[in-house]
């Protein structure tokens, strides 16, 4: 069975994405990786080329900066890469997401099992959200806990909205995919980047959801992102993917300043909801961009 990885990226360096680590984390289980590389000002294209990986296939693209509604530019770029995949199954990863090598066998096993199950379109991966440093994670209902990250490449699946999920084209329109829960994990490092880069990233993202918003990457940030603005976190006691080892070490010059004790206390209602979720593995009011099916 052939597996195609795919993703999109623009200005990875200036915005602090762990792009190299992300791509390297899926190389061992993919036969090809399609990367839609937007027009960048920081050498992102050359960075990917420098990996000299024959599995990586680059699509150069120009972002339409007029697409400033609902983050639609993200699904448009995702679909550019998806459209060039040739595998039986696709593995999607965003540039701030990394897969742990301990999950490789599990992912391959679950894909093979799902391939034999007619009623399963996709697999759900669990999320670990790091915040402020590589030692703390966000938990509870303010953090999404699972998303589709692998699916059958039927030609009818496409990214939609702001590229967080996928839908399949049917006679009745765009429908949710049927998905089975895998124990495979996505290590999400989107909230662990230098504070000035995080501030730039958030301001830039804002422009792709608001027609009137403007922002230039060349602007000098007077204020860095305040990592103490999150709700209380939990210590992370597990291991990180091996591909992250050097980056975690290099980033200590700023992550060492993070103080998790200064984060905000959770509101009482949120605490109660989290307790219910922990006790019954049920999230009240959870948005599900999929139809979950059992084996």
User: Domains of the chain, with CATH numbers?
Assistant: 1-295 (3.90.550)
The DSSP letter of residue 177 is P
**Tens of pLDDT along 147-164?**
999 999 999 999 998 998
Identify the H or E element spanning 22.
Answer: helix 19-26
Over residues 211-222, mean pLDDT: 80
Band the pLDDT of 96: cuts 50, 70, 90: very high
Which of 115-129, 178-192, 262-276 bottoms out in mean pLDDT, i.e. has the lowest? 262-276
Tokens 């204020």: give the residue. Answer: 223
What gap in Å lies between CA 233 and CA 235, rounded to an integer? 7
Q: How far apart are CA 211 and CA 26, in angstroms?
A: 35
Beta bridge pairs of residue 34: 6, 57
What gap in Å lies between CA 34 and CA 85, rounded to an integer?
A: 7
According to DSSP, the β-strands at 97-99 and 3-9 are unpaired
Q: How many CA atoms lie within 13 A of 21 on its CB side?
A: 24
pTM: 0.96
CB 16 within 8 A of CB 40: no
pLDDT of residue 146: 96
Q: How far is CA 70 from CA 113, 160, 161, 164, 232, in A?
A: 35, 10, 7, 12, 29
Instruction: Provide the b/e sequence for 193-219 (b: ≥16 CB within 10 Å).
Output: bbbbbbbbbebbbebbeeeeeeeeeee
- Please list the residues that pair with 18 across neighbouring strands: none
Please provide the average confidence, as pLDDT, over all residues in the chain: 94
């Amino acid at each position: 069975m052939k597996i195609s990885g795919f993703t999109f990226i623009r200005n990875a360096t200036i915005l602090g994405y762990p792009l190299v680590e992300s791509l390297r984390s899926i190389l061992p289980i993919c036969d090809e990786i399609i990367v839609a590389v937007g027009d960048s000002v920081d050498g992102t294209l050359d960075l990917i080329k420098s990996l000299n990986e024959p599995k990586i296939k680059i699509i150069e693209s120009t972002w339409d900066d007029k697409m400033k509604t609902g983050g639609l530019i993200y699904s448009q770029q995702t679909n550019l890469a998806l459209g060039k995949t040739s595998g039986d199954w696709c593995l999607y990863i965003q540039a701030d997401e990394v897969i742990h090598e301990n999950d490789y066998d599990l992912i391959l096993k679950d894909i093979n099992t799902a391939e034999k199950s007619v009623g399963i379109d996709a697999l759900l991966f669990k999320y670990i959200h790091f915040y402020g440093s590589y030692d703390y994670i966000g938990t509870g209902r303010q953090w999404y806990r699972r998303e589709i990250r692998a699916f059958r490449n039927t030609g009818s699946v496409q990214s939609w909205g702001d590229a967080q999920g996928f839908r399949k084209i049917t006679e009745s329109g765009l429908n949710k995919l049927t998905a089975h829960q895998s124990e495979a994990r996505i290590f999400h490092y989107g909230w662990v980047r230098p504070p000035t880069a995080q501030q730039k990233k958030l301001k830039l993202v804002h422009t792709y959801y608001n027609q009137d918003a403007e922002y230039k990457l060349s602007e000098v940030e007077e204020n860095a992102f305040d990592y103490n603005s999150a709700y209380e976190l939990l210590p992370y006691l597990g291991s990180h993917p091996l591909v992250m080892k050097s980056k975690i070490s290099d980033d200590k010059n700023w992550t060492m300043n993070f103080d998790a004790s200064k984060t905000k206390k959770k509101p009482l209602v949120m605490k109660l909801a989290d307790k219910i979720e922990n006790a019954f593995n049920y999230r009240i009011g959870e948005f599900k961009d999929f139809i979950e099916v059992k084996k």
